[in-house]
């Protein structure tokens, strides 16, 4: 049996970065649902949290899981669930784009702490600031055209 440990830090936002997840109570419901639903689908979420307009998710990929499939299952099902349960006033959607970066074993605790501190973190900086930092920190280039 293969033994695999590949951690991915996913970050994605709500459609147009609209603050759909505007209360701590709603966010907690959504994060718990994402974790529970992923577990049912065999996706191991190590940590999940975010803010009113985005989500961070630390996932350990299984041997037959791809980044694309995991993010599709998490985002697609959670937006369906949010809408089915009418948890937001307007139709809820996640943005199509997302970040996915690998996390080494030695950095896991640091990433967990970073995700855990999202509420406090975003009292000081916007998601746009965080997004711009990710672009620079991880060497992503924006496509022009």
145: confidence class by pLDDT, cuts 50, 70, 90: very low
Domains by residue range for the chain, with CATH: 6-137 (3.30.70.1290)
Please tell me the distance from the alpha carbon of residue 33 to that of residue 28, in angstroms, as a whole number.
8
Q: Are 30 and 21 in contact (CB under 8 A)?
A: yes
pLDDT over 70 (residue 76): yes
- Tell me the C-alpha to C-alpha distance, in Å, between residue 61 and each of 10, 13, 34, 45: 12, 21, 15, 9
Global pTM reads: 0.90
Give the model's pLDDT for residue 58. Answer: 98
pLDDT over 60 (residue 142): no
Report pLDDT digits (tens) over 49-65.
999 999 999 999 999 99
Please tell me the distance from the alpha carbon of residue 105 to that of residue 107, in angstroms, as a whole number.
5
Give the model's pLDDT for residue 118. Answer: 87
Q: Are 26 and 81 in contact (CB under 8 A)?
A: no
132: confidence class by pLDDT, cuts 50, 70, 90: confident
Please tell me the distance from the alpha carbon of residue 55 to that of residue 21, in angstroms, as a whole number.
10
């Amino acid at each position: 049996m293969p033994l695999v440990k590949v951690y991915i830090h996913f970050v994605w936002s709500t459609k147009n970065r609209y603050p759909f997840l505007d209360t701590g109570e709603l966010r907690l419901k959504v994060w718990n649902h994402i974790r529970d639903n992923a577990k049912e689908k065999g996706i191991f979420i190590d940590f999940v949290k975010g803010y009113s307009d985005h989500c961070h998710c630390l996932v350990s990929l299984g041997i037959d899981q791809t980044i694309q499939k995991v993010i599709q299952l998490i985002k697609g099902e959670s937006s369906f669930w949010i809408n089915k349960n009418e948890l937001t006033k307007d139709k809820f959607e996640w943005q199509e784009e997302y970040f996915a970066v690998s996390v080494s074993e030695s950095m896991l605790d640091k990433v967990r702490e970073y995700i855990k501190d999202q509420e406090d973190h975003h009292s000081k900086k916007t998601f746009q600031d965080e997004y711009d930092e990710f672009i620079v920190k991880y060497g992503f280039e924006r496509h022009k055209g």
